[in-house]
Amino acid sequence: MAEEAFMKLFSIIIPVYNAEAYLEECVDSCYKQDFDEADFEVILINDGSTDDSLALMYQLALKHDNIVCASQTNKGQGCARNRAIGMAQGKYLFFCDSDDKFIEHSLGKIITLMEKYSLDICCSMGKVYDAEGNSSLGWFQPLPLFVVYNGCDAILNGLNFDSVCSKCFLKSFIQTNKLTFNESIAHEDSLFNAEASPLAEKMMFTDICTYQYNWNGTSTDRSRTRQKVMRGLRSDIIIAKALRRIPYGLNIEAKDKIIDNYQKRSNSIIVSLFLRLLFRDDLSKEDKWQLRQLASKEELFPFKGKCLSWKTTILSKVLNILYS
C-alpha cells in the first residue's frame, strides 16, 4: 500500500472551551517551535464556549494562515478531538488543552524521533503547574528512555495510560486502527491510550519536556462542581469495565498477558475509586452508594483476582470484607 500523502508535517489539535484568558498564549506556543507555518497546522475546535473564545479564535486565524477554526455545541473534549482528527492534514498529531502550552523548541525533537525510528507513538514529559505557580515534572513512565518498544511489551512493563498531550501520534496509525475518543466520559485520554497502546508496533519514551500543564480549575475539563466530580467517578467505572473488554478484540501474540494485565488495571481503578469515596466530603452518602452500586452492576465489585501491586490487592480484599 502506498504511503498516504499529507499536506502538512504535523497537526496540533486544540479543543477550546471558555479559554478566552489562556488561548492566545496557548496558540502562540505552537509558533515558538522550529518550523515554518507551512509545515504544520493548528486546529481549534470551539466546544460551545460561553465567553469570547470563539471570537478570539478567529482573531488568531487572521494572524496565522495555518490556523483552522471550527465550532460545535458543547459535546465535550472527546468529540472535539475526534472532529479535529477527521480534519487534520498532518502526518503526525499533537494534542493540547486550550489553557496549557507547549515548551519552546521542543516539538521538533519529537518529530525527529518519529521520523528516524518510524514510530507510531512517541511519549514526552511535561511541567505541571499548580494554582500557586509551583511546578514539577509530570508524566513519568517506568521504562527505559529512547528505546523502541512494542506496545504490548510497554504495557507489560508498566506503561501508564496518561494524557494524550504527552504524546505524538502517527495519524495513519490512528486511522488504520479506527481509534477514536469516547465522547461520553471524562478522562477519555486514559481509555484512548489503553486502546491504542497494544496496537502500536513501535513506541518510544523520552525525557524531552514538551508540555506545560496548568491547573486552573476551568477550561476544557477541570472545573470541580459536584456534577463534574460524579461524572469523573462514573467515567472511572466505565473505563474499568472497558479494560476488561478491550483485550478480547485484539489479534496479538501477547493477548492472554494483556487480558491479565488489563484485569489488574481494572481492579486497581475501582480500588482507588472506593478509597476516594471513603474520604470525600463533597459527595453525599447517596452519591457514594450509587457509585458503589454501579460498580457492582458492572460486575467490577466484589473484587476478583489481583491488582497491579500487592498492596492494592490486599486493599481489595479489605474492601470486599468492608462492603460485604
CA distance 85 to 95: 10
- What residues have CB less than 8 Å from 43, skipping those under 6 apart? 11, 12, 13, 14, 67, 68, 70, 84, 87, 88
Q: Region 177-196: what's the mean pLDDT?
A: 96
* Strand, coil or helix: 204: strand
CA distance 54 to 38: 24
CA distance 198 to 245: 13
Residue 44 has pLDDT above 60, yes or no: yes
* Phi and psi angles of residue 240, each rounded to the nearest 5 degrees, phi first: -60, -40
The reported pLDDT for the residue numbered 135 is 75
* Strand, coil or helix: 166: helix
* Phi and psi angles of residue 9, each rounded to the nearest 5 degrees, phi first: -70, -45
- What confidence category does residue 5 fall into, taking pLDDT thresholds of 50, 70 and 90? low
Residue 219 has pLDDT above 80, yes or no: no
CA distance 154 to 143: 8
Q: Are 49 and 117 in contact (CB under 8 A)?
A: no
Q: Are 52 and 82 in contact (CB under 8 A)?
A: no
The more confident residue out of 47 and 220 is 47
What digits encode the pLDDT tens for the residues 137-146?
777 788 999 9
Q: Region 13-17: what's the mean pLDDT?
A: 97
Mean pLDDT of the chain: 93
Q: Closest Cα partner for 52 from 16, 20, 100, 15?
A: 20
What digits encode the pLDDT tens for the residues 281-301?
889 999 999 999 999 999 999
The DSSP result for 8-27, as a single string, is EEEEEEEEESS-TTTHHHHH
Which among 170-179, 218-227, 247-256 has the top mean pLDDT? 170-179
The reported pLDDT for the residue numbered 2 is 41
- What confidence category does residue 102 fall into, taking pLDDT thresholds of 50, 70 and 90? very high
Tell me: domain 8-214, CATH 1.10.760.10, correct?
A: no
Beta-carbon-side half-sphere exposure of residue 145 (alpha carbons within 13 Å): 8
CA distance 319 to 298: 17
The cell numbers describing 309, all together, are 501491586
What digits encode the pLDDT tens for the residues 57-88?
999 999 999 999 999 999 999 999 999 999 99
The reported pLDDT for the residue numbered 61 is 97
In the chain, domain spans: 8-214, 226-322
